[in-house]
Structure 1
Amino acid sequence: MRNIYLIISREYLERVRKKSFIIVTLLMPILMIAMMVAPSLMMLYSKSEQKQVVVIDRSGVVADNLYESAEATFIREDGMSKSEACNIYNEESGIFGILYIGEVVDARDSVQLITNSSSSMLLEESISSQIEAIVEREKLKEYNIENLDEILAKIETNIELATFVNNGATEDDGEMESTSTGVSYILGIVLGMLLYMIIILYGQMVLTSVVEEKASRVIDVMVTSCTPFQLMMGKIIGIAAVALTQIAIWALLVLSASKFVMPMLFTPDIASTSGALLDGALGTVTDTGYIATLFAYLALFILGGFLLYASLYAASGSAVDSIQDSQQYNTVIMLPIILSMIIMMTVFNDPNSPIAFWCSMIPFTSPIVMIARIPFGIPTWEIVTSLVILYLTFIAMTYLAAKIFRVGIFMHGKRTSWRELWLWLKE
């Protein structure tokens, strides 16, 4: 046991003392917080520049009813042809574009927006919605309905959907927890990508450490005072401790920001005018309990995922003499990780779909897929089951990897084939 502890200490201290470790550890939380907060801040503070649009209306219906919006103001020029307007109102005129409306508004290509620079989706949607409303109103007038404008004004309704978690409370209790699908989506991407990078980064560290020490014959000296299994586990656990240290520091920094910085950014005045959708987003990023739970799950899945893949990387490193030779094995190891990333992107459409569920139970894909599902609020039993399967698989894979490791570290100058690996496993 003392030998494993010494190897763990060596692997751990050698890495945490590096400047690169300190820099990445301090910068990553800033990036994470920025990605969590950016959508809410953009919704609060972003204001697009109001564009000037020249309107040529051949229908005689639309131009009179267009109104100024946050996106555009309109200048009417019915006496011009489209080509004349394009020549006069070019980029040098300061006019953003020309809105041309044909005689039959709802005919194909009858409504055209000709711009001097790239348009925005907000502007196009604003103009389209206005014209659609005007045309619909004109069509209704054909039915000779009395007081039509008054009726339309009364029935106009805007619905803002607020989402909550069913936690057994009632709306009257004031305890229902608001949620934000948008924030859950972003958190899922951030956590999934973070776990992906950590598994790859620290898994490669295990591989590189084994290959370099094998090439320099340091391993030959080390195994004189410890068993190959102790050496492999010491390396894996030591580097896992580095990853957990990083996660702990990130959690502390993000929780501190969530507790003290977020309330200063999102003042009561902003919250009172934010609306239900943004309210759910603010509630999520400022809930320290929720953030702490996410980091706890992240640590468990990072540890399990890393231990599983690190044992494979250690076995791969022991079977080769150089990093280049390890590529044939690394490709196989990387396949389920890449597959996890592909599946993760489909999870956001339906976190409870069959493929999302089963891939969050399969141990080789579960760390990334499950951590992407957790922000959407899945049952606890699914998370626990996934973790149990993941750690049991790690134990089984460690047993198999140790068989390869104990033979592979003594093999030099020969490229190991898949058949030889299979023979080592059978011994």
Structure 2
Amino acid sequence: MNKIGLIIKREYKTRVVKKSFIIMTIIGPLLIAALIVTPAYLASTQEHKLRTIAVIDQTHVFSDTVINTSLLNNSNIDNREITPEAVFQHRLPDNKYVHFDFLPANTTIDSIKSIFKNTNYYALLFIPENLLNSRTIQIYSDKEISLNIKIYLSKFFEKDIEREKLIAKNIDPDILKSIQTTINIESIKWTSKGKEKSTNQEIAMVLGAFAGIFIYMFIFMYSAQVMRGVIEEKTSRIIEIIISSVKPLQLMMGKIIGIALVGLTQFILWILLTFGIVTAIQSFSSFSLNHQNNEQVQSLMTKINSSQIQPTLEKENTEMNEFVKVVYYTLSSIDWTTMIFSFFFFFLAGYLLYASMFAAVGSAVDNETNTQQFVLPLTVPLILSLVMLQTFLNFPDSSLSFWFSIIPFTSPVVMMIRIPFGVPWWQLAISITVLLLSIFLIMWISSKIYRIGILMYGKKVSYRDLFKWLQYKK
């Protein structure tokens, strides 16, 4: 064990002081922080601009002035907010983000297009005369239109036209709204102890997919490092000196564990540095990372002061609050102790399994080019578990999902996909037991290949050669 400890220490020290490790440890968090901060920064700077949109309304409807009854009937509004501009609005009202400048109805699109760059207009909105039949509105600009503005306009015109069609058929829109009913399907799961708990498949799918993909990436990335490290030592002939002092199994185990610790160190540093960078940027900036597009859309929508769509917005806000509650109860119902324990176990166990096989492959070849014939068959099960990700997410309790979570070559990914949905303890126990036994078996097989292949030079190894090496005795 002392020799394995020395090898682990050597592997760890030589890798953490490498320039590539230091550079990636610094660049990684910067890139992750940039991916988090940049969208929020752009959103906060762009969405608070008041944009002016020119409007050609050939229907002569939306340019009409109407009384904002929802403002007058709102008892929570400060009297200072009841201004003539707020009370008397166009049927297509302005809001915090958009101001509509209505042009004469006979204005042509070409005439605006020729002078558009010399104006302060963000876009040109064209409302055709046959809007009820065509159900199409064009918006022109020399830049990409904000998604929030598109949603705002789409929602407004949908509700307004629906109301007009109801009135045309002598149907009172208020009566229709009063009978509209939303049914929420609450999913409740009976546990093995007879208790009830709320579940949400979408949240479980996100957690499962994230955990499975992350473990997949970790196994591939660091197992490949083990293989490359073995090949480098073999080609440089350093291995001949090292092997005279330690057993091949000790050398292989020391290398695998050492690289695993390097990976965990880098992973922890990424989390800490990313959190620190994002927190620092948020502390010294005027924008908030919670300024998400959904909140912007909701803010845009709630600023519409038209009485035609206000009830709908209130209903949508209520539904959003219900969704938040479901998310909260679903997250609180997840067995996080099992989730975290399983994540770290399959995280490390999956790596040990595949790193052992990759180490054996590295010992059997003279360069990375010759590894393909051995690596591909080994990684097919792992790749297959990711290819079938959607199937496992949709049917986590199926027989296929069960067996893939038991087979050791796929269980690190598939079992983590299933755990957020709830897995019986006996299935988890079987999966862990089979995986641990497989690790010992694979390490034993890999060590037999490793002790012979590490000193084999100048010969292209085949599967037949590997089988012969397994039959050799000390």
TM-score (norm 1): 0.73
Query: Unpaired segments of 5 or more residues in structure 2?
Result: 65-90, 283-287, 296-316
Matches within 5 A, 1:70-85: 70-85=96-111
Find the counterpart in structure 2 of residue 51 from structure 1: 51
Q: For structure 1, which runs of at least 5 residues remain unmatched after alignment?
A: none
Does the 8 Å contact 2:346/2:412 carry over to 1? yes
User: How many Å apart are 1:212 and its aligned residue?
Assistant: 1.9
Query: Does residue 365 in structure 1 map to residue 385 in structure 2?
Result: no
Q: Secondary structure at the match of 1:413?
A: coil
Per-residue deviation, residues 69-102 of structure 1 (Å, max 9, x unmatched): 4553322234224434543562331212222222
Would the alpha carbon gap of residues 208 and 97 (structure 1) be closer, same or farther in structure 2, given more than 3 Å must change?
same
Counterpart Cα distance in 2 of 1:230 and 1:89: 77
Moved more, 22-31 or 249-258: 249-258
C-alpha contact 1:98 1:114 (8 A) present in aligned 2? yes
Task: Provide the residue aligned with 2:462 in structure 1.
Answer: 417
Are positions 1:68 and 2:88 aligned together?
Answer: no
Counterpart of 2:444 (choices 396, 399, 412) is 399
Mapping 1:123-142, distance limit 5 Å: 123-142=149-168
Stretch deviating more after TM superposition (74-83 or 208-217): 74-83
- In 1, distance between residues paired with 2:105 and 2:457? 87
Offset, 1:408: 1.1
Q: Does residue 373 of structure 2 align to residue 328 of structure 1?
A: yes
Task: Determine the structure 1 residue equivalent to 2:251.
Answer: 231
Whether the 8 Å contact between 1:5 and 1:234 is mirrored in structure 2 is yes
Letter of the structure 2 residue corresponding to residue 422 of structure 1: F
CA separation of 1:98/1:34 partners in 2, compared to 1, >3 Å: closer, same or farther? closer
CA positional deviation for 1:310: 0.5
Matched length: 412
Q: Does 1:200 align with 2:220?
A: yes
For 1:297, the equivalent position in structure 2 comes to: 342
User: Contact 1:206/1:313 (CA < 8 Å) preserved in 2?
Assistant: yes
Task: Name the aligned partner's letter for residue 122 of structure 2.
Answer: F
Indicate the residue corresponding to 1:91 in structure 2: 117
1:379 aligns with 2:423: yes
Kindly provide the amino acid, as one letter, of the partner of residue 9 in structure 2: S
Distance 2:127 2:457 in 1: 78
Q: 1:29-68 CA deviation, whole Å, 9 max, x = no partner?
A: 7877887899999999984544322222333445543222
Q: Structure 1 CA distance, aligned partners of 2:275 and 2:338?
A: 11
Give yes or no for contact 2:58–2:106 (8 Å, CA) kept in 1. Answer: no
Change (3 A) 1:245 1:385: farther
Letter of the 1:79 partner, please give it: A
Q: Secondary structure at the match of 2:258?
A: helix
* Residue pair 2:12, 2:258 contacting (<8 A) in 1 also: yes
The residue type equivalent to 1:15 in the other structure is R
- Structure 1 residues 184, 202: CA separation in 2 closer, same or farther (over 3 Å shift)? same
Deviates more, 1:377-386 or 1:159-168: 159-168
Deviation, 1:8, is 2.8
1:261-303 deviation line (CA, Å, top 9, x unaligned): 99xx899xx9xx9956567879999x9x988865543321221
**CA distance change for structure 1 residues 28 and 280 in 2, over 3 Å: closer, same or farther?**
farther
Note closer, same or farther for the CA distance 1:303–1:412 as it changes in structure 2 (3 Å cut).
same
The letter of the residue matching 1:73 is H
Larger radius of gyration: 2
CA distance in 2, matches of 1:355, 1:33: 38
Deviation at 1:206, TM superposition (A): 1.4
| In structure 2, C-alpha distance between the alignment counterparts of 1:60 and 1:356, rounded to whole Å | 60
SS at match of 1:123: helix
Match runs of 1:153-192 below 5 Å: 185=206, 191-192=211-212
Q: Match of 1:325, SS?
A: helix
Contact 1:160 1:277 in 2 (8 A): no
CA distance in 1, matches of 2:360, 2:348: 18
> CA separation in 2, counterparts of 1:19 and 1:346?
41
Helix, strand or coil: the match of 1:107? helix
Does the 8 A contact of 1:180 with 1:280 survive in 2? Answer: no
| Alpha-carbon distance in 2 for matches of 1:305, 1:294 | 16
Ranked by relative contact order (alpha carbons within 8 Å, sequence separation 6 or more), the top structure is 2
AA partner of residue 5 (structure 2): Y
SS in structure 1 opposite 2:121? coil
CA offsets per residue over residues 334-356 of structure 1, 9 Å max, x none? 44444444444676667667766
Alpha carbons 2:8, 2:254 under 8 Å: kept: yes
Give the match for residue 11 of structure 1. Answer: 11
Deviation (angstroms), 1:137: 0.6
Contact kept? 1:199, 1:305, Cα under 8 Å: yes
Partner of 2:312: none
The answer to whether the 8 A contact 1:343-1:356 is kept is no
Distance across 2 between alignment mates of 1:342 and 1:378: 22
Letter aligned with residue 260 of structure 2: A
Percent identical among aligned pairs is 34
What SS does structure 2 have at the residue aligned with 1:90?
Answer: helix
Give 1:104 deviation, angstroms: 2.7
2: CA distance, partners of 1:282 / 1:221:
58
Distance 1:415 1:387 in 2: 37
Contact 2:222 2:263 in 1 (8 A): yes
Per-residue CA distance 1:241-274 (angstroms, 9 max, x = gap): 333445566678899999xx99xx899xx9xx99
Aligned to 2:355: 310
Q: Normalization by structure 2: what TM-score?
A: 0.67
Paired residue type of 1:203: S
Partner amino acid for 1:318?
A: S
Residue 423 of structure 1: how far off its partner (Å): 3.4
Distance 1:40 1:378 in 2: 34
Counterparts in 2 of 1:92 and 1:391: CA distance versus 1, 3 Å: farther
Q: Deviations along 1:352-402, whole A, 9 cap, x unmatched?
A: 67766554444333333444555x453363554443333333223223222
